[in-house]
């Protein structure tokens, strides 16, 4: 009987301690519970939104590629939009497609301008390809020493 009484007293004391702790720290407890529930959900929503945005840029890039193949100028506008706002990979794809379009349409000045604007990327493959495209675009006006220096510069950056 005394054991039962002791356990009841201990249970009551534990409940009282818990209630007093909760009353004193009500705001902190509610905030911790809120963070444990809301934080993971908000992180997942953020990543989902970010992924959706990248999917939209990729679908716009594919749409622009189709439009350019049909000689529609809306494709160029879409690629310029992607070039300014997409993630790095999609930006590089858009820049490459724009330079390819301008090279195929004998607008070498515009292609060179786009390549000069895109020199800020740290992608070594893109730097090498842009160096090759610059050599191709300036082939008539460039000397052999300048070609060799451009090739050496792209090899040093690797």
Domain assignment of residue 72, given as a range: 2-86
The verdict on residue 131 lying in a domain is: no
Across 61-83, average pLDDT: 87
Q: Which residue has the higher pLDDT, 136 or 76?
A: 76
Q: Tell me the torsion sign for CA atoms 67, 71, 77, 80.
A: positive
| Domains identified in the chain, total number | 1
Inside any domain, residue 74? yes
Residue 101: inside a domain, yes or no? Answer: no
Q: Would residue 8 count as lying in a domain?
A: yes
- pLDDT score of 103: 81
In this structure, is residue 36 part of a structural domain?
yes
Kind and range of the H or E run holding 144: helix 144-157
Which token pair is 109?
A: 């000045």
pTM over 0.85: no
For the chain, how big is the Rg over CA atoms in Å? Answer: 31
Report the SS3 class of residue 122: coil
Residue 53 lies in a domain: yes
Domain assignment of residue 10, yes or no: yes
| Residue 57 located in a structural domain | yes
Q: In this predicted structure, what is the pLDDT of residue 137?
A: 67
């Amino acid at each position: 009987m005394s054991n039962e009484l002791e356990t009841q007293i201990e249970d009551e004391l534990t409940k009282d301690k818990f209630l007093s702790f909760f009353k004193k720290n009500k705001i902190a407890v509610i905030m911790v519970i809120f963070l444990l529930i809301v934080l993971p959900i908000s992180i997942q929503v953020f990543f989902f939104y970010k992924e959706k945005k990248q999917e939209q840029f990729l679908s716009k890039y594919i749409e622009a590629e189709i439009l350019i193949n049909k000689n529609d100028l809306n494709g160029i506008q879409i690629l310029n939009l992607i070039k300014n706002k997409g993630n790095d990979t999609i930006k590089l794809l858009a820049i490459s497609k724009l330079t390819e379009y301008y090279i195929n349409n004998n607008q070498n000045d515009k292609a060179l301008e786009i390549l000069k604007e895109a020199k800020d990327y740290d992608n070594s493959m893109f730097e090498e390809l842009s160096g090759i495209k610059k050599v191709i675009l300036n082939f008539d006006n460039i000397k052999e020493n300048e070609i060799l220096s451009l090739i050496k510069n792209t090899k040093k950056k690797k």
